Amino acid sequence: MLTRLSILPIDNIFDLILALIDIVIVAFVIYRFMMLIKGTRAVQLLKGLAVLVVASFLSKMLGLQTIQWILEQVRLAIVVALPIVFQPELRRALEQLGRGKFFARPITFLGEEDMSRLINELVRAVQILVKNKDGALIVIERETGINDFIETGIKLDAVVSAEFLVNIFVPKTPLHDGAAIVRGDRVIAAGCFLPLTDSPYLSKQLGTRHRAALGITEVSDAVAVIVSEETGTVSVAEEGKLTRYLDEKNLRELLENLLMPRNVQTSGSFWHWRGK
């Protein structure tokens, strides 16, 4: 084996290593892109593009000149339209790139003790809301700023407490229908309007709160906690995905995994592995 390798020029070995690195990087980028668009409208759009590519290949192979000319014109239009059509996915990709370790600030600027207190207050508030059968939508800001949506609500800047959060969502009060947004250890605003998801895979049983929760997590890295007014079901939305039917223990574990500094998370937690 050593004799055979010694016969090969050293440049060829380096070229082989570089080619392997190139393939691995491209494969990883494609994989991350597929994960990014999974469950979004982009999947259907890519299927449509695949159909056009196959049709173009067949028309060229069979010599169908008219169809080939039409497909070439469509191809030019698609090149111009793609950045517009994939704008949400491109925006999410650039935001995730910007949240890389080199550019990003820490996931939370709260220490372990303060974050633990915040999670305790959130969980306690959710349990009271479930008991009272009051609906709620609480958004926790992380790295991506969501000032555009904070501006749509009423500025509060109050310390997070279970009692305060419960009072915000008392039915028929001015702030009840919107979202409360938490920044750090403070409720920065309430009664906020959030973008609604366009996902075709969302159950018809889920209402505006769940759609708004998924919407804000599709355009940012925020975490949203939802309490259903009809069923009392507790859900958490993150990165455009919804985890439903959470009890007190699972809610606490999931929030700890998403919000606590990485060095204090429990590596063996079920939710830790779910996030990988």
Q: Residue 149: which residues within 8 A CB-CB, separation 6 or more?
A: 139, 179, 181, 192, 193, 194, 195, 216
The set of residues, in sequence order, having a beta carbon less than 8 Å from that of 222 and lying 6+ positions away, is: 139, 140, 141, 142, 144, 146, 216
* Superfamily name with CATH number, domain 112-274: DNA integrity scanning protein, DisA, N-terminal domain (3.40.1700.10)
d(CA 256, CA 162) in angstroms, rounded, equals 17
Give the per-residue pLDDT at 59.
Answer: 82
Residues 269, 275: Cα–Cα separation, whole Å? 10
CB 133 within 8 A of CB 229: yes
Domain ranges of the chain: 2-98, 112-274
Q: Which two tokens stand for residue 60?
A: 């060229």
Provide the whole-model pTM: 0.62
pLDDT in tens, 33-62: 776 666 555 666 777 778 888 888 888 888
What pLDDT sits at residue 9?
Answer: 52
Task: Please give the mean pLDDT across all residues of the chain.
Answer: 81
pLDDT of 130 above 60: yes
User: Has residue 84 got a pLDDT over 80?
Assistant: no
Mean pLDDT (whole number) for 25-36 = 79
pLDDT tens-digit series, residues 171-220: 989 888 899 999 999 999 999 999 999 887 788 888 899 999 999 998 88
More confident residue, 96 or 267: 96
223-227, strands of its sheet edge to edge:
154-159, 186-192, 179-183, 136-140, 223-227, 234-238, 241-243
The two three-digit tokens of residue 192, written as one number: 């906020």
**10-37 vs 87-98: helix axis angle to the nearest 10?**
120
- Residue 246 near residue 258 (C-beta atoms within 8 A): no
Reported as a pLDDT band with limits 50, 70 and 90, residue 86 is low
Q: Give mean pLDDT, residues 127-149.
A: 91
Least confident of 100-109, 131-140, 147-156: 100-109
